[in-house]
Amino acid sequence: MAADDTPTDSGLLLRIKGLQKRFADNIVLADASLDVPRGSVVCVLGRSGAGKSVFLKCLAGIVRPDAGAITFDGKPLGVDDRRARAAFRRRCSFLFQSNALFDSLTALENVALPLEQTTGLSSREVRERCLEALKQLELEAHRERYPSQLSGGMQKRLALARAIVTRPELVLFDEPTAGLDPLRRNAVFAMIAKYQRQFSFTAVIVTHDVPEALAASDHVALLEDGRMCFQGTPEEFNASLDHVVCGFRESTKALAHTLAAIRRGESISTLDEDS
């Protein structure tokens, strides 16, 4: 991203500077920084194991970073500032990779849980708010069903209903399409884009699904070696000549080239030498 294109602080909901995290001798985040414009969809790309989920969990307060600064809505979000963290949790939701639905609770009860735990709403108000969320995500008719009785797509929508029922300003998505086939991946990204615009929350999504992320996001970042080696629009990502970005972006074409060479009878060692 060019310097002139960097959002001003007033246009940012979230700013992360120099985030660091290590587990024993394994440095996961070395100096990760990211600007998240208010009202945008930001996708953080990276290889499996690059630290994307750790980065997101540091933002959510699930994992404690070793160093770095996080600013939310212009105010510092210190790891030891309980008041700031509590205010952040009231304004933020986290959508886990596994959906993290409770099998013993109905769809309605799953959605009600964050309201019961974080607000002083009456039972009637909680029920009304939950039914509204389920209706908006086309799940009202399934409110008495358990997660095991819902399809995979319905479970994703139920998890999203629970995430948005508190009317958050920021929703963090941890690999929302993990384990899904291409059609379902497309459906999940379309769902996020649809409801992000409907409810006007800011979304940060960590994923390794490049085509879908580029199609659905306003801004893209690439995490490599513990740092954000790229930040910009999808168009800037596609035009970037940075060798890391090119390698990540062109991985599918590289695979097709390799497979074509194998079919021509070329040896793997020859292919490795050429690369």
Q: What is the mean pLDDT of residues 127-150?
A: 92
The amino acid present at 205, given as its one-letter code, is I
Res 181 pLDDT > 60:
yes
pLDDT tens per residue across span 73-89: 999 998 889 899 888 98
Distance CA 244, CA 246 (A): 5
Range with lowest mean pLDDT among 39-53, 198-212, 257-271: 257-271
- Of 174, 215, 211, 210, whose CA–CA distance to 193 is shortest? 215
Q: Which residues pair with 76 in a beta bridge?
A: 71
The amino acid present at 90, given as its one-letter code, is R
Distance CA 165, CA 90 (A): 11
Res 8 pLDDT > 60:
no
Enter the pTM of the model.
0.81
Q: Which tokens go with 113?
A: 């849980």
Residues 6+ positions from 97 with CB-CB distance below 8 Å: 53, 174, 175, 176, 178
Distance CA 195, CA 185 (A): 16
Q: Which residues pair with 16 in a beta bridge?
A: 34, 70
Distance CA 180, CA 186 (A): 9
Determine the straight-line distance between the first and last CA of the chain, rounded to whole angstroms.
29
pLDDT tens per residue across span 112-124: 999 998 888 999 9
Listed in order, the ranges of the chain carrying CATH 3.40.50.300 are 3-102+169-240
| Strand pairing category for 12-23 and 26-37 | antiparallel
Q: Which CATH superfamily is domain 3-102+169-240 in?
A: P-loop containing nucleotide triphosphate hydrolases (3.40.50.300)
Q: Using pLDDT thresholds of 50, 70 and 90, give the confidence band for residue 28.
A: very high
Range with lowest mean pLDDT among 54-58, 156-160, 175-179: 175-179
